[in-house]
Amino acid sequence: MKKTRLEIEEAVPALKLLGDKARLTILGMLKNGECCVCEFTEVLEMSQPSVSQHLRKLRDAKIVKEDRRGQWVFYSLNESYEAYDLVLGVIDHVSDQSEKIAELERQGKRIECK
């Protein structure tokens, strides 16, 4: 794991955002690559506006970046984020979320976004 040292003031906003079930799950999903918004709403079983607002916070903080492709918006981890190493480190400590995405795949719910 990398050793980029952050000032407390830089780390706190990132950690504040990580300390939420929805957002930590989102980031866990993104560890395996980009996801589209509809996948988050499926996995999180939350309303679309709620997911959208969590994404906005992560986006405003530069933790994730978005990429609109037609109707869909895909999110991914922003490797240029100052606390990227910290975020990755934390994600590495939580259980893999890829199973949840695989589950979507099985249910054919991932196709819709592609």
Residues contributing to the site for its own copies (CB under 8 A): 1, 3-9, 11-21, 24-25, 28, 83, 85-86, 89-90, 92-96
Residue found by looking up tokens 């910290």 in the block: 86
Find which of DNA, its own copies, none residue 68 binds, CB within 5 to 8 Å per kind.
Answer: DNA
Among DNA, its own copies, none, what binds residue 95 when CB lies within 5 to 8 Å by partner kind?
Answer: its own copies
CB 71 to DNA: min, Å? 4
Query: From the list DNA, its own copies, none, which binds 112 (C-beta under 5 to 8 Å, kind-based)?
Result: DNA
Return all residues near 104 (Cβ < 8 A) that are at least 6 apart.
39, 42, 43, 110
Phi/psi of residue 68, each to 5°?
-80, 130
Contact 43, 29 (CB under 8 A): yes
Q: Taking the complex as a whole, how short is the minimal distance between the CB of residue 68 and its own copies, in angstroms?
A: 28
Tokens representing 22 are 């929805």
Q: Which two tokens stand for residue 73?
A: 């918006």
In the complex, what is the shortest distance from the CB of residue 72 to DNA, in angstroms, rounded to a whole number? 4
Question: In the complex, which residues of this chain contact DNA (CB under 7 A)?
Answer: 16, 20, 22, 36-38, 41, 46-57, 66, 68, 70-73, 112-113
Give the CA diameter of the chain.
44
Residue 76 has which token pair?
A: 């991914």
Whichever of 10 and 67 has its CB closer to its own copies, that residue is: 10
